[in-house]
Amino acid sequence: MKLVSTKYICVFSMFGYSNISELPGTIGSLKHIRYIDLSHTSIKKLHDSICFPYNLQVLKLRKCQFLEELPMDLHELINLHYLDFSGTRVRKTPMVGKFNNLQPMSSFYVG
């Protein structure tokens, strides 16, 4: 998959695109992105670069039934307000101590 060649995207949604199984590493170069919704996709793994858009506020991964882990550097998303990974196979959550703005999560597992 190739993202639009603009770095000014604020919203990225692939909700319901079941044929999407991975994101390109360039997702981390979208410095202005605030909202990513990958719910109901076939994503298996999130590229580590998803932890680089520091302005990201919403990350929805609901019902990504093939997703088994979250990136270990997810705590770098210090502006994250909402994280939903319910309905996934994720059973281990990265360090969440730096999430000052995070609202109650739908699922939380301690490994």
- pLDDT value at 2 more than 70: no
Average per-residue pLDDT for the chain? 83
Measure the CA angle with vertex 52, ends 48 and 55; round to 5°. Answer: 140
**Superfamily per CATH, domain 1-111:** Ribonuclease Inhibitor (3.80.10.10)
pLDDT at 11: 92
pLDDT of residue 5: 55
pTM: 0.82
Give 77-97 pLDDT, tens digit per residue. Answer: 888 999 999 999 998 776 655
What is the spatial distance between Cα 102 and Cα 83, in angstroms, rounded to a whole number?
8
Residue 63 clears pLDDT 80, i.e. is over it: yes
Is the CB of residue 38 less than 8 Å from the CB of residue 60? Answer: yes
Q: What are the residue boundaries of the structural domains of the chain, listed by start? A: 1-111
What is the tens place of the pLDDT at every residue in 12-62? 999 999 998 988 888 888 888 999 999 999 999 998 899 888 899 999 999
Given a cut of 60, whether residue 4 has pLDDT beyond it is: no
Helices (H) and strands (E) in the chain, counts: 0, 4
**Of 47, 46, 6, 38, which Cα lies nearest the Cα of 19?**
38
Length of the chain: 111
